[in-house]
Amino acid sequence: MTLVTKSLNGGQKSVPDEALEALRGALRGSALLPGEPGYDDARTIWNAMVDRKPSLVVRALGANDIRQAVNFARDNELLMSVRSGGHQIAGHAVVDGAMMLDLSLMKSVHVDPRSRTARAEPGATLGDLDRETQAHALAVPVGINSTTGIAGLTLGGGFGWITRKHGMTIDNLKSADMVLANGDMVRASNSEHPDLFWAIRGGGGNFGVVTSFEFEAKPVGPEVLSGLIVHPFEDAPALLREYRRIAREAPDELTIWTVSRKAPPLPFLPEEWHGKEIFVFAACYCGDMKEGEKALEELRSLGNPIADVISPHPFVGWQTAFDPLLTPGSRNYWKSHDFVDIPDGFIDILTKAIHALPDPGCEIFVAHLGGAMARVADDATAFPQRKSHYTMNVHTRWEDPAKDEACIRWARDFFKAAEPYSVGSVYVNFMPDDETDRVGGAYGGNMMRLADIKAKYDPKNLFRVNHNIPPHAMSHAAE
């Protein structure tokens, strides 16, 4: 079967049989065509909105497999996507009719408790990393859903429950082994290819394929004071006005996110509240338990909660708390803004949006940032929006394809209404595939430097199936 696939120039390319067989012979992993065993597993990702069929899937088992795949795509001028965890909302992991490099089988994690470092392969999930590091009462600051891939999260920035105390995921990245567009295998760190190291800390998959991440791990747990405080949504306006002050004054160890949605059938909620509109504080204190109790006193005293389940929990367990609401196979669409505050006008439009939820799976969360994250200069890494104290994600989730239009419209309408209160930037990992016009906003004043580094390491834009940063020369040619 002759391989016909998309080329870099947008056309179709026929690849000789002998070239494909040579690739297969060079791999420890596999090169799969449609219909072959493993093909559907590789192309199926978290967001059911994305149901695409690549022309070829290379399932890598090691760094050399990645190198062979990159060389094959470059030498044949093929359009190539890269899948790690397959959790990105935009679905860039897979493209119809194009080559796909699948890293999801490369899941090894090794922890050195003496040096407090952890090395993870690009197919590892946050849960894989958490379980290995917590065996030594260590943790790397990552996101809040354990099935997320470590590669995409890290390359876009990475924040979660312990970011205010220990910084972003990229602030704890010590080095990354990479395959570049020309096939070279290099290490990026502060001392080796420092410009590349700067770029991959927030610049996404634009500069090469990471084969291994080395992180600094911090003492955390094995238990943290964490949990949910659930209120009737009618109390949300008053609670948010108190929350913005408490969050602003909180110690770095304390992180408080808010979630507005309809109540799922959680076992600790009275049955009469299932399906009704609720407002939730999700809190985590990653320091001393007694100090945490004091730090959470005021938040826990607000209003008349339906349930308060804050208590000591294993950190690994708390990291999976939101997994049931983010299982694979549902349809998802996100819209996001960054804020420095939560003004009354935003509270008003949030209230209206929750009263108009298009599906019980939809929610709006506000992530509490700041702390150690904000004490890093905007130009110290490619990720620039350090001073944003909050990130909002309109997390639209549903099962029935007939609801696509209504759910997407609801998310876009709220996003537009919230725009006047935002700072104009956006977290690249929260951007759907229809937001190509926001890439500049994601990188702000770092965009020009990123385009220069892209021109150095990927001048022909081989790595373009992403929230793309065109090489500088290519950017000028398009003007």
State pLDDT tens for residues 360-417: 999 999 999 999 999 999 999 999 999 879 999 999 999 999 999 999 999 999 999 9
Question: Can you tell me the distance from the alpha carbon of 161 to that of 318, in angstroms, rounded to the nearest whole number?
Answer: 9
For residue 445, the 8-state DSSP code is: G
Domain 109-219 part of CATH 1.10.443.10: no
CATH 3.40.462.20 fits 223-436, yes or no: yes
Name the DSSP class of 282.
E
Residue 211's SS3 state is strand
State both tokens at 191.
Answer: 């001392």
What is the DSSP-derived secondary structure letter of residue 263? P
Output the CA angle 315-144-154, nearest 5 degrees: 110
- DSSP conformation class of 220: -
Name the CA radius of gyration of the chain, rounded. Answer: 22
Taking CA atoms, 185 is separated from 68, 101, 122, 456, 478, in Å, by 11, 16, 15, 15, 30
Angle, CA of 39, 44 and 50, to the nearest 5°: 130
Assigned token pair, 383: 């990720």
pTM for the whole thing?
Answer: 0.94
So what's the pLDDT on residue 112? 98
The domain spans of the chain are 3-102, 109-219, 223-436
Phi and psi angles of residue 116, each rounded to the nearest 5 degrees, phi first: 55, 50
CATH of domain 3-102: 3.30.43.10
> H/E element holding 353?
helix 344-355
Asked, colleague to colleague, whether 3-102 and 109-219 share their fold, the answer is no
Residues belonging to the chain? 479
* pLDDT tens-digit series, residues 415-440: 999 999 999 899 999 999 999 889 99
CA angle 143, 419, 321 (to 5 degrees): 20
Closest CA to 50 of 412, 435, 432: 432
pLDDT of residue 473: 66
Q: Which residues of the chain have pLDDT under 70?
A: 1, 473-479
Distances 42 to 58, 92, 119, 287, 330 between C-alpha atoms, Å: 9, 13, 24, 40, 17
φ, ψ for residue 424 (rounded to 5)?
A: 95, -15
Query: pLDDT tens, 87-122?
Result: 999 999 999 999 999 999 999 999 999 999 999 999
Residue 202 Ramachandran class (φ > 0 left, ψ -120 to 50 alpha, else beta): left
